[in-house]
């Protein structure tokens, strides 16, 4: 994800001086866009004298509490954007020592500039210039929007951040079911990929909402309607989807408590 953000910075903030910190330099180089003007460093001590305008923190939440003190000192002097799951603003402010922090969460399709990212800040905590920079950086990765409170951020997180995983799981089950019914495995894979792509494209480009599009493909007493009776049974999607989102939200709250 860091490499995708750097790609957006190269395109939309071409005047920026970009520095990336990663202990695995070889892996980092392999992920960066070809020719990206980025200075790579393995340790925070190597960049201790820098005073960046903005630090984007993309480490695993489990290691946040053990970050290099040199990096913490750099962040104490800079505006910070966190893309860590489950670490609330209160914890970030306490650890970093100031409120100039933006909490964001890009989802996986951001790697293809087709993602969705939400941003959340405390009121008046960051400058308009920083807000604009965040909008430019993450807007280059797809949809970007702000939410005004962290509770809304957490409630939306399972929908867009976890959502791709749920959609992939549904696609996986469609492929497996097609195979079990006798469809060639490779054909099943191609058909499901294209079906999901086409349906997503219609959701993006068509003015009709999901319910209207569903009605458009469903003939009375036809095959789609027959299948939907299984999916829309009260014990199926109407029960499974809310429970899926509930469990993801509950886990996010657990991560916040563990931070």
Assign 144 a pLDDT band (cuts: 50, 70, 90). very high
Q: What is the pLDDT of residue 34?
A: 75
Question: Would you state the CATH architecture of domain 163-258?
Answer: Orthogonal Bundle (1.10)
Tell me what the mean pLDDT of segment 114-123 comes to.
95
φ, ψ dihedrals at 167, nearest 5°: -65, -40
Q: What is the pLDDT of residue 24?
A: 87
Element (H, E) at 208: none
Q: Where are the domains of the chain?
A: 2-157, 163-258
Beta strands 101-106 and 54-57 are unpaired
Best CA proximity match to 146, nearest among 123, 127, 173, 118: 118
The answer to whether the 2-157 and 163-258 domains have the same CATH topology is: no
Most confident of 49-53, 66-70, 129-133, 164-168: 164-168
Each residue's pLDDT tens digit, 34-45: 777 888 888 888
CA distance 227 to 32: 44
Q: Which two three-digit tokens encode residue 86?
A: 């489950």
Q: Which two three-digit tokens encode residue 242?
A: 């809310």
> pTM for the whole thing?
0.87
| Mean pLDDT of the chain, nearest integer | 92
Say if residues 119 and 102 touch (Cβ distance below 8 Å). Answer: yes
SS3 for 106? strand
Say if residues 178 and 189 touch (Cβ distance below 8 Å). Answer: no
Q: What is the pLDDT of residue 146?
A: 97
- CB-facing half-sphere around the CA of 90: CA atoms within 13 A: 6
Q: What is the pLDDT of residue 75?
A: 94
The CATH class of 2-157 is: alpha beta
């Amino acid at each position: 994800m860091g490499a995708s953000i750097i790609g957006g910075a190269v395109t939309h903030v071409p005047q920026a001086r970009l520095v990336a910190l990663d202990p695995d330099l070889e892996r980092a180089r392999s992920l960066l866009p070809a020719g990206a003007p980025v200075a790579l460093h393995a340790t925070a001590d190597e960049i201790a004298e820098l005073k960046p305008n903005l630090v984007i923190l993309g480490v695993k939440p489990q290691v946040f509490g053990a970050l290099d003190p040199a990096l913490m000192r750099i962040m104490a002097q800079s505006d910070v954007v966190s893309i860590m799951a489950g670490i609330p603003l209160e914890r970030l402010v306490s650890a970093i020592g100031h409120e100039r922090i933006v909490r964001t969460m890009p989802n996986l399709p951001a790697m293809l500039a087709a993602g969705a990212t939400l941003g959340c800040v405390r009121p008046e905590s960051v400058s308009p210039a920083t807000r604009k920079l965040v909008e430019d950086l993450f807007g280059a990765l797809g949809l970007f929007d702000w939410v005004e409170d962290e509770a809304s951020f957490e409630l939306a997180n399972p929908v867009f951040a976890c959502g791709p995983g749920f959609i992939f799981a549904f696609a996986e089950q469609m492929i497996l079911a097609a195979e079990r019914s006798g469809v060639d495995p490779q054909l099943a894979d191609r058909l499901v990929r294209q079906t999901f792509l086409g349906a997503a494209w219609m959701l993006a480009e068509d003015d009709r909402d999901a319910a209207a599009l569903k009605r458009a493909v469903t003939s009375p007493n036809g095959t789609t309607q027959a299948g939907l009776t299984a999916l829309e049974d009260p014990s199926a999607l109407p029960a499974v989807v809310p429970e899926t989102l509930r469990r993801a939200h509950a886990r996010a709250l657990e991560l916040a408590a563990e931070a």
